[in-house]
Structure 1
Amino acid sequence: MAGLRERKKADTRAALAAATLRLAAERGWEHVTVEAVAGEADVSYRTFFNHFSSKEEALLRPGGAEQPRLSTRLRAQPADLSLPAAVRAAVREEVGELTADPATLRTRMTVLAGTPALLPRLVEMGAADEQAMALAIAERTGQDVDLGPALLAAVVSAALRVSLMRWHGQDGATPLATLADEALDALAAGLPPATPAR
């Protein structure tokens, strides 16, 4: 019974997230309301808030509060993996989930790119995710969280963000996994020196 209840909950959450994205793409973000999303998903207004705290969360974190984060994926890696290998494995898992439905990811990226009003929430969620990632790195390495782990978490987050932007800019021509690997390889090798444009 619990399994069925959880599946129904997940299905409702997925329907709400899909409705939020669909309405945002069709109407523009400023014209999306929780009432409209609930109606589109054929559930009550109250049911929406059983799954998401806001329409922003429904768009930006469609799996809800239970959606795995990069920090969760890192903690799940085998203890005998080196930190770089564990981080890369966690990023690959994240990318695999993001690209499970490439069309939906492209639509979400298009909505985000065209909606500056979402930037503050994106920054807020990104900062929280980086902090959680830094804690996971600190736990794995035994380091204090305030420098090395915090810096690595920020850099990995930036690498994933840049990879997503490149993927969207190329309209998915290069697999996101390839772009993420390129970004991580560049970080591992040390960034090339900046040279002035001629």
Structure 2
Amino acid sequence: MSAVDEILQQIPLSQLAAKLGTDEQTAGAAARQAIPALLGGLHANAQDPAGAASLEGALGQHSSALVDGGVDLDQVDEGEGRKIVGNIFGGHTDGVAQTLGGTLGGGSQSDLVQRLLPILAPIVLSYLAKQMGGGAGGGLLGSVLGGLTGGAAGGGGGVADVLGGLLGGGQPGQGAGGGGVTDLLGGLLGGGRR
């Protein structure tokens, strides 16, 4: 099962749809696009050693409690989520939301994606923290998630390789549910996926 599917299984779509003011199908489709984008953004940031160190620090501060036994979206701190999204995408957040919103059909859904990203960002970090088992350090993160994804390919080491593995190990057409979306965002994010 892909990381995207594992994360989606933890999220109650009816609660997510109610928070977003949309139907479950739209909420699920948007989440299926946004999760790989968040992972892709983390991967792009982790290509830089300072970005990788920052991510490892953030993972050390996130508990897996948010995803243990399923997510209660009332427990998600959207203010923290906005900070995480800002750290991941920086000044490209609006462009990411427009790109993702355009893939959902039915006209632009960028406003929906803007509201969704801060909900999903803490969940994604909590999921990664759970995979680490609460440990810290790029080596442990790499070995735990590398095993989860069947090994990671690419350069940069540590967290960059882990996220590359979650995104499909750099092998075209074998992404973990991201594929086209993360490819679309690759140029926008300035690295990582092409």
Q: Bin the TM-score by the shorter chain.
A: under 0.3
Greater relative contact order, per chain length (Cα 8 Å cut-off, separation 6+): 2
TM-score if structure 2 supplies the norm length?
A: 0.27
Q: Comparing both structures, which one devotes a greater share of its residues to helix?
A: 1
